[in-house]
Amino acid sequence: MTKLLVVESPAKARTLSSYLGSDFIVLATFGHLVDLPHDRLGIDLGSDFLPEYELLPGKKKVLAPILKAAKQAEHIFIGTDPDREGEFIGSVLWERIGKKSALRRVRFREISKSAVLSALGEPTDLDLDLVESQVARRILDRLIGYRISPFLWKAYTSGTSAGRVQSVALKWICEREEEIRSFVPEDSWEVNSKVRFGTEKDEFVLFRRKEGAFSEEGPAASLAALLSESGARLRVTERKEKKGETLPPPPYTTASLQQDAFRMYKFPAAKTSKLAQLLYEGVDLGRGKRQGLITYMRTDSVRISTNSKIELRKQAALSYGKESVAEGTDSHRKSKGKAKAQDAHEAIRPVDPSLTSEEIFFLSDKALSKDAKKLYELIWKRAVASQMKPERWNQLRFSAEAGGEIWQAEIKRTEFPGYRVVYGGRAEKKPEWKIGESLLPETWKVEKKTTEPSPRYTEATLVGRLEKEGIGRPSTFANILETLYKRKYTISDKAGILSTNLGERVNSILQEVFPDLFREGFTSEMESELDRIAEGSVSRSEVLKRFYSKLESTLKRTDSKSVSKERKTVPKTVLGYGTCPVCGKGVRVRKRSSRKKEYYVCSRFPECDYAEYL
């Protein structure tokens, strides 16, 4: 009895084949099979927004062996990814194969032998509401692209385009850049004293003047000199102690994993997505064993199964001691903004917690790259930490008198590390100073402080805001960023994500002419409508009709000729890659050397000598 299992990825197909008998044929679609045509709208507006799909280039050869195997198979299983896109690919196969009575849907939340055999033993049907939601998403994006991009060509220049979600992200980046440009820094001078209470590097407290910093350097320098020369000591006048605890973080979602991978290793969101996909689909563990290392990586849920909690806690006890492991219900803090979470999947966790991050590092780099190992370590540690006890800490506040001034200090010290032991946390010594005690500072120092604007978005903070605002979904975060880079609306460097001159012009037009279409609230509302389609509470047709009506009425009220012509006169030599980090007055200009190397200089050169190679 021949059985056919179809998945997206050849790597996933190899892993699954190693679990199944000779009666199974496992084939891959290599991603999507069809899409809307690239040379026309491809949507029949007069027939309830019916999409006109075409086979993607090269997919005829991919589909042929699948259709051939399907003719001979008695049972056909669609094992594409358990999300909107996977369900859509499954629906295409369902239509093309035709043997609908023999075709069933299986969903693999993790790629392990037990999970795969369990899923194959309990097949279900395609989720047609989820398919409708994905179809609606694609049509929405196509309508915006095809109806608004031509307007941009007339108003500004050809080759520009708008996107339902990325245009909102571009708006945030441009707003932050304008905020940075208009920011006026202010200087102040702080006098502080460093007092040690132990020999370890971090065993000190910094006392600061209660009245705050000075607006001029002179008075600050005079006070510090007076205190230093007189050998002034601090006499403790007040001591307050507060106990508290910090809950462990929940297991990773797609967004939080992308954020931490960027913060820790500067992995772009797209790279994190690819590495996580590889870890999910399966790697060679040696001795002929292939296995997926993590659960499905596109999720906005922090939930994990009861059995998984048991296994994670068992491993936490082995690795870090029973005294650190949580008891009863989860102790981890709940992520903010989870009211909009779909919770269709578990959080991202290791499939087998006993396969520790240390063991993974012993695998050859050929089996698993160093970066993939780093990502697995992040996931493993976070999942284990989520099942451990909170950190307990003491927060101490001191007031002291010296030189006729009141000085204040604050310090937080760990009493019991709890989950932080996973990240090297330990119990810490605390200062035991009592009221009336005299303290001898190591130094009396003046420090210049300069106010700074809000930092530029990084991939981590931008993904965090997208998640918080309910814009985009786990499967789209990385693509949003990649699209902005590809269109040259933004660039990413050490300073963060910067809007280019092109990006700022496009954003200016979109916000001037289409403010209602490219605002946070509307885009978030559309995401909610797509979720409602997936839940079966509203039809695709109803959502698209409402949206298209709004889009057309907006376009009728606009005129590309009325958009300010001044944008076209902006010198093309000034590419607008942010404010000069040296002088703060000019803007960064991108240039190319005789050796084809790209670099930045300040637009005020030679007055400002800033230069930086890319």
Instruction: State the catalytic residues.
Output: 296
Task: Indicate the DSSP class of residue 220.
Answer: H
Q: Which tokens hold the place of 101?
A: 């009575």
- What 3-state class would DSSP assign to 498? strand
Task: Indicate the DSSP class of residue 283.
Answer: E
Question: Contact at 8 Å (CB) between 571 and 163?
Answer: no
Using left for φ > 0, alpha for ψ between -120 and 50, and beta otherwise, residue 30 falls in left
Give the dihedral sign, CA 252/253/257/263: negative
Counting Cα atoms < 13 Å in the Cβ hemisphere of 240 gives 6
Taking the C-alpha atoms of residue 223 and residue 208, their distance in angstroms, rounded to an integer, is 13
Q: Considering only CA atoms, which of 506, 518, 491 is closest in space to residue 590? A: 491
Taking the C-alpha atoms of residue 290 and residue 345, their distance in angstroms, rounded to an integer, is 23
Taking the C-alpha atoms of residue 106 and residue 79, their distance in angstroms, rounded to an integer, is 5
Q: Which tokens hold the place of 55?
A: 């086979």
Question: Contact at 8 Å (CB) between 612 and 593?
Answer: no
Taking the C-alpha atoms of residue 102 and residue 262, their distance in angstroms, rounded to an integer, is 45
The residues with which 24 forms a beta bridge, in sequence order, are 3
Q: Which tokens hold the place of 219?
A: 């008075």
Q: How far is CA 77 from CA 17, 118, 153, 273, 309, in A?
A: 13, 13, 46, 26, 30
Cβ-based neighbour number of residue 522 at 10 Å: 17
- What 3-state class would DSSP assign to 411? strand
- What 3-state class would DSSP assign to 407? strand
Taking the C-alpha atoms of residue 333 and residue 444, their distance in angstroms, rounded to an integer, is 40
Q: Considering only CA atoms, which of 589, 582, 587 is closest in space to residue 608? A: 582
- What 3-state class would DSSP assign to 410? strand
- What 3-state class would DSSP assign to 388? strand
Angle between the 477-486 and 254-265 helix axes, to the nearest 10 degrees?
50
Q: How many residues does the chain have?
A: 614
Question: Contact at 8 Å (CB) between 8 and 78?
Answer: no
Taking the C-alpha atoms of residue 293 and residue 112, their distance in angstroms, rounded to an integer, is 8
- What 3-state class would DSSP assign to 43? strand
